[in-house]
Homo-oligomer: A and B are copies of this chain.
Amino acid sequence: MRLASVGLPHASKIFNVSTLNKNVLNAEYAVRGAIVIRADEINKQLQNNNHKFPFNDIVFCNIGNPQQLRQKPITFFRNVLSLVTSPELIDNAGLQQTLKPDVFQRARTILSGIDSGSTGAYTHSQGLPSIRKNVANFITRRDNIDDPELINPDSIFLTDGASPGVQNGLKALIRDHNDGIMIPIPQYPLYSASITLCGGQQVGYLLNEQDGWSLEVEELERSLKEATDKGINVRALVIINPGNPTGQVLSKSNMENVIDFCERRGVLLLADEVYQENVYHEKPFLSFLKVAEEMNKLDTVEMISYHSVSKGFLGECGRRGGYFHLSPAIDPGVRDQMYKLSSINLCPNVDGQIMVDLMVNPPKKGEESYEQYNDEKHQILSSLKRRAVKLVDTLNTLDGVSCQTAEGAMYAFPTITIPPKAVEEAKKKNIAPDAYYALCMLEEAGLCVVPGSGFGQKNGTYHFRTTFLPPEEKMDAVLTRVAVFHNNFMTRFA
């Protein structure tokens, strides 16, 4: 992985770690950190047959990357994308015998929404107007909003996945080291890393693990007061719903309290809703926009919401498609500044834009592809639900492991009781105890998970995040590997 050092010694280089921007140096991103880099190394060694590991494959549970673990893409979406990429194929006789009529129709519709007729041209910096219009309609439908004018396509920004949109929002919000952003503990490290890169401060609020990782407004108040007392200007509150890494789904009354909090305290709401399709329990997903609208607060609550094609049942992570929506109360001047930020990168990739278009506008009942689409969608989501239950149940059978129900998203975040002797061992190796646990799981069982310390956790507790994305037929084998490893680990350090 590392390059050989050439020429001058590090210290005499113009550009080295001690002359690098400190915010870059201090940023951490565990989801692709040291353990994943080690997993890649092991993966390479597994290619040759006389490797020294007690397993023959690495199962990557470190990241929500469904298609890496063989989740099938939605056929209709991919076929439409193939046709808009090579429009001459729309009239191909052979294909017309293979693909359903609505595939060709949809490809034509999408191309008619592109002035140049080509997916190879830069689009408007916010993304194609035709697609932003469809996103606005999707939000209006999803949230059952009466006023069709309320969601303005110019308040929608298509992005290369949700992440760059989050980073642009934080870049605009954070002015200096006294500005803080409230993030859940545990959180998705995109937030901590981006806040550090922007030179701002993380203001953590704890989720209540014992109560299914619930979000309590008293804790928001406590965290805000603590930050304010330190002289930090809290600019925004990040809510991840459904939760990552924690998988909880917020209730309506809970969301109402959060909105009241933001209004009362003058804090902007950043609503990360990329897992909105991944809900496995009774509690339905509600968008913060919907809840604010029912509270008649859309005029006052400033909110940015995020969605993505990477999650849900699409799992089209590689497309890097997503969008963010500025709620009606966001200042138009801010919108213009966000436009300028987008324009510096010219535009989001067009295939990702088109995947967003397909996500918000899937085949409808009566269209030729509807049944196949619906079957594929149902199979993926029901299988994810079965795997979620199985994973959590198994984890809870393990000695010293306790895991809350995964109501949504694609992760479990169990507590692990790490024996004192293992904690000592970790100290010797100068790594966090849960990082040591995860490293052992990788070296001994070939399972790549992320230590809780990468997400933040209550002091003195230890966790790891694992996805429940391994293929269903392999799930039992994976869970056995987890169990055997864990029991050995506990015995070894008893």
Query: Which residues of B lie under 8 Å from residue A347 when comparing CB positions?
Result: 317-318, 320
Nearest-CB residue, chain B, relative to A87: B78
Shortest Cβ distance from residue A14 to the other chain B in the assembled complex, whole angstroms: 5
Instruction: Please state if B85 and A92 are interface contacts (CB–CB under 8 Å).
Output: no
Instruction: Please state if A82 and B89 are interface contacts (CB–CB under 8 Å).
Output: yes
Measured in the bound complex, the distance between the Cα atoms of B196 and A337 in whole Å is 14
Instruction: Please state if A121 and B331 are interface contacts (CB–CB under 8 Å).
Output: no
Measured in the bound complex, the distance between the Cα atoms of B419 and A466 in whole Å is 69
Instruction: Please state if A194 and B298 are interface contacts (CB–CB under 8 Å).
Output: no
Shortest Cβ distance from residue A373 to the other chain B in the assembled complex, whole angstroms: 15
Q: Does A171 contact B (CB under 8 A)?
A: yes
Query: Which residues of B lie under 8 Å from residue A86 when comparing CB positions?
Result: 75, 78-79, 81-82
Q: Does A83 contact B (CB under 8 A)?
A: yes
Instruction: Please state if B344 and A197 are interface contacts (CB–CB under 8 Å).
Output: yes
Measured in the bound complex, the distance between the Cα atoms of B18 and A424 in whole Å is 51
Nearest-CB residue, chain B, relative to A309: B120
Instruction: Please state if B315 and A2 are interface contacts (CB–CB under 8 Å).
Output: no
Instruction: Please state if A123 and B298 are interface contacts (CB–CB under 8 Å).
Output: no
Q: Which of B7, B78, B337 contacts A20 (CB 8 A)?
A: B337
Query: Which residues of B lie under 8 Å from residue A54 when comparing CB positions?
Result: none
Q: State how many copies of this chain the complex holds.
A: 2
Query: Which residues of B lie under 8 Å from residue A15 when comparing CB positions?
Result: 172-173, 235, 268, 302, 330-331, 334
Scan A279-316; emit 1 where CB is below 8 A from any B CB, else 0: 00000000000000000001110100000001000111
Shortest Cβ distance from residue A91 to the other chain B in the assembled complex, whole angstroms: 10
Q: Which residues of A contact B (CB under 8 A)?
A: 1-8, 10, 13-17, 19-22, 24-25, 27, 29, 31-33, 40, 63, 65-70, 73, 75, 78-79, 81-83, 85-86, 88-89, 92-98, 115-116, 118-125, 152, 154-155, 160-161, 163-164, 167, 171-175, 190, 193-194, 197-198, 235, 266-268, 298-300, 302, 310, 314-320, 326, 328-337, 340-341, 343-352
- Inter-chain pairs besides A3-B328, A85-B85, 15 sampled, C-beta below 8 Å: A3-B155, A3-B330, A3-B335, A7-B298, A8-B300, A15-B235, A15-B331, A17-B334, A20-B334, A29-B344, A32-B125, A66-B121, A67-B120, A73-B120, A89-B95
